[in-house]
Amino acid sequence: MEDNGKIFVVVAVLAVIMAGLFLYLFVIDRKISKLEKALKEKSLKEQE
């Protein structure tokens, strides 16, 4: 596999894709958390 010593290029590409996709998931996760918080505050206000 490391015949021409360039496999690290492929690995770097895959690692960046992996990290990028995970970063995206973290961002989505945070967005949903914010929505949940906003909804909670709204329902608390309605109860008052």
Partner 1 sequence: MIKGVWWKISALVLLLYAVMAGFFITVPGTMMGETIRTVFFHVGMWFAMFVLLFLSFIYSLRYLIGFEEKEDIVAVEAANTAVCFGMLGIVTGMIWAKNTWGAFWVRDPKLDGALAGLFIYLAYLILRASVDDVHKRAKISAVYNSFAFILWMSFVLIMPRTAGSSIHPGQEGVPLLSLDLSLNTRLVFYPAMAGWILLGIWIMNLRIRLNKIQRSTGR
The site for partner 1 (CB under 8 A) is made up of 1-2, 7-8, 10-11, 14-15, 18-19, 22, 25-26, 28-29, 32, 35-36, 39, 43
Nearest distance from residue 47's CB to partner 1, in Å?
14
C-beta of 29 vs 48, nearer to partner 1: 29
1's CB contacts (< 8 A; 6+ apart) are 7
> What is the rounded distance in angstroms from the CA atom of residue 35 to the CA atom of residue 48?
20
Nearest distance from residue 13's CB to partner 1, in Å?
9
For 25, the token pair is: 């998931």
For 36, the token pair is: 């949940």
